[in-house]
Structure 1
Amino acid sequence: MSNLEHYMTSRYVNGGREWPEYDCWGLVRHQFHAIHGVWLPRFDGLDADNTLAKSRHYAQLLRQFTERDHPSEGDVLAVVQGRACHHVGICIELNGGLYAMETDEQTGPRVVTLAQFKEDHETVKCYAPAADLQQRIHQPAG
């Protein structure tokens, strides 16, 4: 089973962090690891309906990332309103193009064009790993 098939055969579960049950953060976290070899925080116990908790976790995440205008493979795509992050996806490369991978309760796991992701979600911000996270990504294993 390919990496993409692995994620596409999962199902959406609020708070899901391990295959076959992912919420949007669980899927992004695992795909980020597959691309970069680094685990992002689990944020266990995060409820998709808890805006305050999502805002706190979003603030924590921002310390490890830098916002940029044009996404690259492995960048986190955040759907934001004010200081609250309501949903996340991740930018993946597929057949030479860039796409958004996401999961939610309505659609389940899916891959869409970046344009479609932005059309489906009002305010999307793109985040690349900041310098300290980049060091962990490029650190030799062992």
Structure 2
Amino acid sequence: MFNPDKYLTVKWQMGARVYPILDCYGLVHEVRKDLGLETWPDFNGVVSDDGGMNREAQLFRSKVSECQSQEGAVAACFNHQLVVHLAIVVNIDGQLMVMESQKGTNVTIMTVQRFERRYRNQVRYFK
């Protein structure tokens, strides 16, 4: 069973992929592992600041399929056509929520609707 409390001690750091220090994709990677889902590449060293996240996301896109928000789906946030942030959908007490890791706030969990509003509905989900 998924335990969201594990992530409340996570500290955000750009490019971090090893729990308990995780950036947005590091969190996605760790949660997917905990959910028992297929492991995605860890993209070690890839960060959004230099456009690396967008470049790797576009290359990896052929290996995933777009879907509706569902447990384990990766939420990709776009600014026009550029991927600028990633998060993951989790099921907490029967409700779909989005978990993200960001500078200054570390890990936050919110409803799918709030997350989509926050990113001005420029969110697409992939599995």
Q: TM-score under structure 2 normalisation? A: 0.90
> Does residue 1:56 correspond to 2:55, yes or no?
yes
CA contact (8 A) 2:33 2:39 kept: yes
CA offsets 1:18-54 (integer angstroms, 9 cap, x no match): 1110000000011011113422111111123112x12
For residue 86 of structure 1, the aligned residue among 84, 87, 103 is 84
CA contact (8 A) 1:30 1:39 kept: no
- Which ranges in structure 1 are unaligned for 5 or more consecutive residues? 129-142
| Alignment partner, residue 65 of structure 2 | 66
Percent identical residues = 25
Inter-partner Cα distance in structure 1 for 2:95 and 2:16: 28
CA offsets 1:42-72 (integer angstroms, 9 cap, x no match): 1111123112x1221111231221112x211
CA RMSD of aligned residues (A): 1.4
Inter-partner Cα distance in structure 2 for 1:109 and 1:48: 17
Larger-Rg structure: 1
Inter-partner Cα distance in structure 2 for 1:61 and 1:34: 21
CA contact (8 A) 1:36 1:74 kept: no
Inter-partner Cα distance in structure 2 for 1:34 and 1:60: 25
| Alignment partner, residue 35 of structure 2 | 35
Match for 1:18: what amino acid?
V
- 1:7-18 equivalences in 2 (<5 Å): 7-18=7-18
CA offsets 1:63-84 (integer angstroms, 9 cap, x no match): 221112x211000000012332
| Alignment partner, residue 139 of structure 1 | none
User: What is the total number of aligned residue pairs between the two structures?
Assistant: 125
Inter-partner Cα distance in structure 1 for 2:58 and 2:48: 16
Inter-partner Cα distance in structure 1 for 2:109 and 2:33: 18
- Which ranges in structure 2 are unaligned for 5 or more consecutive residues? none
Higher helix share: 1
Match for 1:25: what amino acid?
Y
Moved over 4 A (4+): none
CA contact (8 A) 2:37 2:72 kept: no
Q: TM-score under structure 1 normalisation? A: 0.81
| Alignment partner, residue 98 of structure 2 | 100
